[in-house]
């Protein structure tokens, strides 16, 4: 599906400029204290340093580089965050892999690598977050992730939804509340991580 076809289907323009994450989150409720957030950051950092110690830096220059390498990095990044979040809130989070999100109009935007859901009740599930791992450029992948967010938003009765898209080292956060916002690129990995925690 082309970007133009995606715009027609979602009835939303898809060309965006990146803004700082802090600006994207202005006015949103804070569910975790600064101490828990710092603890999560440290766990993620330590996990990524450990991953790089046993694996290699994810780069398309490596002939053995696959999307599975990116999926490993996503897992090392989100598992500690989700575990701490679940422990410190009343949310009943569940992580699904290779999940299809069908829109209310019975079409689908495809399979999503990581989907975080909150089980509110037996018959009610709310989509919380999607993380997409892509070996191709983030720009080339935007059609799929914009459509999946629109579908997720429709299923959530219009509450704000979030997605992260990553190629391993760089990440972008996207939110949708009827309008799309995309963050500036965030570099999660860097050379010599094990020597520079800041």
Tell me if 13 is assigned to some domain: yes
Q: In which residue are the tokens 């694996």 written?
A: 55
Tell me if 159 is assigned to some domain: yes
**What confidence tens digit (pLDDT) does each residue in 59-115 have?**
777 788 887 888 888 888 888 888 888 888 888 888 888 777 666 665 555 667 777
What pLDDT is attached to residue 197? 62
Tokens read off for 123: 């018959």
**What confidence tens digit (pLDDT) does each residue in 5-37 have?**
666 666 666 556 788 888 887 777 777 778 888
**What confidence tens digit (pLDDT) does each residue in 37-52 have?**
889 889 999 988 888 8
Please determine, for residue 171, whether its predicted confidence score (pLDDT) is greater than 70. yes
What pLDDT is attached to residue 108? 55
What pLDDT is attached to residue 12? 66
More confident residue, 187 or 109: 187
Q: For the chain, how many structural domains are there in total?
A: 1
What pLDDT is attached to residue 13? 64
Tell me if 93 is assigned to some domain: yes
Tell me if 74 is assigned to some domain: yes
Please determine, for residue 198, whether its predicted confidence score (pLDDT) is greater than 70. no
Tell me if 84 is assigned to some domain: yes
Q: How crowded is residue 47: how many other Cβ atoms within 10 Å of its Cβ?
A: 16
Q: How far apart are CA 100 and CA 110, in angstroms?
A: 6
Tell me if 196 is assigned to some domain: no
What pLDDT is attached to residue 99? 74
Q: How far apart are CA 27 and CA 159, in angstroms?
A: 14
Please determine, for residue 58, whether its predicted confidence score (pLDDT) is greater than 60. yes
Tell me if 198 is assigned to some domain: no
pTM comes to 0.76
What pLDDT is attached to residue 120? 67
Domain residue limits at 157: 9-24+33-102+109-187
Q: How far apart are CA 2 and CA 23, in angstroms?
A: 29
Label each residue of 77-104 as H, E or C.
Answer: HHHHHHHHHHHHCCCCEEEEEEEEEECC
Tell me if 59 is assigned to some domain: yes
Burial group, residue 143, by CB count within 10 angstroms (0-12, 13-18, 19+)? buried
């Amino acid at each position: 599906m082309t970007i133009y076809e995606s715009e027609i289907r979602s009835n939303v323009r898809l060309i965006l400029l990146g803004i700082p994450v802090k600006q994207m989150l202005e006015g949103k409720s804070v569910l975790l204290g600064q101490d828990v957030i710092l603890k999560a950051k440290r766990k993620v950092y330590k996990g990524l340093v450990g991953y790089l110690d046993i694996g290699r830096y994810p780069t398309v220059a490596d002939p053995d580089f696959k999307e599975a390498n990116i999926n490993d990095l996503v897992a090392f990044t989100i598992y500690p965050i989700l575990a701490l979040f679940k422990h410190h809130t009343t949310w009943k989070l569940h992580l699904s892999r290779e999940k299809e999100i069908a829109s209310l109009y019975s079409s689908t935007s495809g399979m999503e690598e990581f989907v975080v859901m909150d089980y509110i009740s037996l018959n009610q599930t709310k989509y919380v977050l999607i993380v997409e791992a892509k070996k191709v450029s983030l720009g080339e992948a935007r059609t799929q992730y914009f459509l999946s967010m629109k579908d997720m938003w429709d299923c959530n009765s219009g509450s704000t939804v979030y997605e992260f898209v990553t190629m391993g080292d760089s990440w972008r956060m996207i939110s949708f509340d009827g309008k799309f916002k995309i963050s500036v690129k965030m570099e999660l990995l860097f050379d010599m991580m094990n020597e520079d925690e800041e």
